[in-house]
């Protein structure tokens, strides 16, 4: 079939129209849609790990909430055992009474050092004391020491010196350095 | 033979020419292609719409979770600090060094022929200390009596609950004699240094 000039022009025009339609279709419809989809997929991919992390965090916090009451009760018990007020006001009388109940005279109780208890015990201070006990028998002192270590869990004895008493050969004088934890 | 004349020849030729009009055929083709493209577009639009809905659901979920997560992080920090403090306080209490049992054992191990005149103890760590014992040993051979005390302390003190190293800091003949069991015996003056290291398991409080 031989095409006339008019027909050739019409075919050329149709081809041109098709090209315009293809350009418009891809440029204004399909590509923006594909981009929108790709962006949404990327944002979803970013969001999913965040959501998982958030859910994990909530579960962890819930698990900690379950553990916390026991720890809080322990801390409360420890803090309740520490009298309120300045330790220099309550510690020496408390120790004097303690040794008196054990039948031991305490000659002096002095505060020698005061510092933070360290990074692991941030709510505590550590106080060092020197306690001088006079005319105490070895076995009597041993029993008092055992009672002290068992009844006062926040006390750590750091130094003990026992030397003969000048007034009574049957007894000793004792110097003790101990530290105790108190509330900040 | 009869003559057959087609008087509509020209009309039919014009009709055929119209039917083969390339522009019209082209337009049909284009319309078909456009319809296919539109179909594909709507298919993609549906898929993208589903994705966008899913994204919106996730965004809503995130908007609800994010403030809870921020609060949970702060609360977890607070709880961890409390739990750690409680655990460290318990650890401090349970890992304390107990002097009373040690002094009791020393009291039992010193024989009547030895008088301890001075005891000094220094805490080295939660599981160890050094103890210095000064005293007078009386016996036929007082140095042997002192040596026996040193070895007894090294082997029997703590009795398997730790390690004790004992050494003489000094051991000298005493100037005086002592009366032990009705006998007057020579004496020696000694200083024994004990290095005590408890085993890693803390004693029951």
ipTM of the assembly? 0.80
What are the backbone angles phi and psi of residue A26, rounded to the nearest 5°?
-75, -45
The position carrying tokens 């916090």 is A61
How, if at all, do strands B183-198 and B162-180 pair? Answer: antiparallel
Whether chain A has a CB inside 8 Å of the CB on B79: the answer is yes
The number of CA neighbours under 13 Å toward the Cβ of B184 is 2
150-179 in chain A: CB under 8 A from chain B: 150, 153-154, 156-164
The pLDDT tens digits of the residues spanning A2-51 come to 677 887 887 788 788 888 888 998 999 899 999 999 999 999 999 999 99
CA distance A93 to chain B (A): 23
Which residues on chain B are in Cβ contact (under 8 Å) with A121? Answer: 85, 88-89, 92
CA distance B27 to chain A (A): 7
Q: Under 8 Å CB-to-CB from A116, ≥6 apart: which residues?
A: A122, A124, A125, A126, A184
pLDDT of residue B201: 64
pLDDT of residue A1: 57
A86: its two tokens: 């300045």
Mutation target vs B (from A67, A148, A156, A178; most B CBs, 10 A cutoff): A156
| C-alpha to C-alpha distance for A82 and A105, rounded to whole angstroms | 24
Residue predicted with more confidence, B180 or A76: A76
pTM: 0.75
Whether chain A has a CB inside 8 Å of the CB on B32: the answer is no
**Planar angle of CA A115, A118, B71, nearest 5 degrees:** 125
Mean pLDDT of A81-110: 92
The position carrying tokens 């303690």 is A98
| C-alpha to C-alpha distance for A117 and A125, rounded to whole angstroms | 5
pLDDT of residue B22: 66
Which residues on chain B are in Cβ contact (under 8 Å) with A162? Answer: 118-120
DSSP category for residue A87: H
pLDDT of residue B176: 86
| C-alpha to C-alpha distance for A141 and A102, rounded to whole angstroms | 8
Q: What is the pLDDT along chain B (205 residues), one digit of tens a residue?
A: 677 777 777 888 777 767 677 667 777 887 888 899 899 999 999 999 999 999 999 999 999 999 999 999 999 999 999 999 999 999 999 889 999 999 999 999 999 999 999 999 999 988 899 999 999 999 999 999 999 999 999 998 887 788 899 999 999 998 888 888 788 899 999 999 999 998 876 555 4
Q: Under 8 Å CB-to-CB from A24, ≥6 apart: which residues?
A: none
Q: Under 8 Å CB-to-CB from A13, ≥6 apart: which residues?
A: B23, B26
pLDDT of residue A51: 95
User: Please, what is the average pLDDT of chain A?
Assistant: 91
pLDDT of residue B202: 54
Q: Are B72 and A61 in contact (CB under 8 A)?
A: yes
Whether chain A has a CB inside 8 Å of the CB on B109: the answer is no
Q: Are A163 and A136 in contact (CB under 8 A)?
A: no
Q: Are A14 and B22 in contact (CB under 8 A)?
A: yes
Q: Pick from A13, A21, A121: which is nearest to B34 by CB?
A: A21
Whether chain B has a CB inside 8 Å of the CB on A10: the answer is yes
What B85-90 contacts at long range (C-beta under 8 Å, 24+ apart), as own/partner pairs, is B85/A71, B85/A75, B85/A121, B85/A122, B85/A123, B86/A70, B86/A71, B86/A72, B86/A74, B86/A75, B86/A78, B87/A71, B88/A120, B88/A121, B89/A74, B89/A75, B89/A78, B89/A121, B89/A124, B89/A181, B90/A74
| C-alpha to C-alpha distance for A138 and A169, rounded to whole angstroms | 12
pLDDT of residue B204: 53
């Amino acid at each position: 079939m031989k095409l006339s000039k008019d027909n050739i022009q019409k075919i050329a025009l149709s081809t041109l129209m098709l090209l315009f339609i293809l350009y418009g279709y891809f440029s204004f419809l399909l590509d923006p849609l594909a981009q929108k989809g790709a962006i949404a997929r990327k944002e979803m991919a970013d969001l999913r790990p965040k959501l998982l992390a958030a859910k994990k965090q909530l579960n962890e916090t819930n698990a900690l909430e379950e553990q916390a009451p026991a720890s809080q009760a322990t801390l409360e018990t420890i803090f309740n055992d520490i009298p309120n007020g300045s330790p220099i006001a309550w510690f020496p009388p408390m120790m004097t009474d303690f040794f008196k109940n054990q039948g031991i005279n305490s000659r002096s109780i002095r505060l020698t050092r005061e510092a933070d208890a360290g990074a692991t015990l941030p709510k505590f201070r550590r106080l060092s004391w020197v306690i001088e006990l006079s005319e105490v028998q070895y076995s009597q002192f041993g029993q008092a020491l055992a009672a002290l270590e068992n009844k006062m869990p926040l006390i750590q004895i750091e130094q003990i010196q026992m030397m003969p008493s000048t007034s009574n050969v049957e007894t000793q004088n004792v110097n003790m350095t101990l530290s105790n934890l108190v509330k900040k | 033979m009869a003559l057959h004349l087609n008087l509509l020849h020209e009309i039919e030729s014009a009709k055929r020419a119209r039917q083969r009009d390339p522009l019209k055929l082209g337009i049909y083709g284009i319309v078909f292609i456009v319809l296919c493209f539109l179909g594909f577009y709507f298919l993609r639009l549906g898929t993208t719409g589903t994705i966008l809905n899913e994204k919106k659901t996730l965004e809503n979920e995130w908007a609800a979770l994010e403030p809870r997560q921020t609060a949970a992080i702060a609360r977890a920090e607070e709880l961890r600090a409390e739990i750690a403090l409680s655990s460290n306080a318990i650890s401090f209490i349970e890992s304390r060094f107990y002097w009373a049992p040690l002094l009791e054992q020393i009291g039992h191990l010193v024989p009547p022929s030895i008088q301890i005149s001075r005891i000094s103890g220094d805490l080295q760590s939660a599981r160890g200390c050094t103890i210095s014992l000064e005293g007078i040993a009386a016996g036929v051979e007082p140095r042997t009596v002192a040596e026996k005390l040193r070895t007894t302390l090294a082997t029997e003190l703590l009795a398997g609950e730790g390690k004790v190293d004992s050494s003489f800091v000094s051991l000298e003949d005493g100037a005086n004699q002592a009366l032990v069991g009705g006998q007057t015996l020579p004496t020696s003056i000694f200083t024994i240094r004990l290095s005590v290291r408890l085993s890693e398991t803390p004693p029951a409080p």
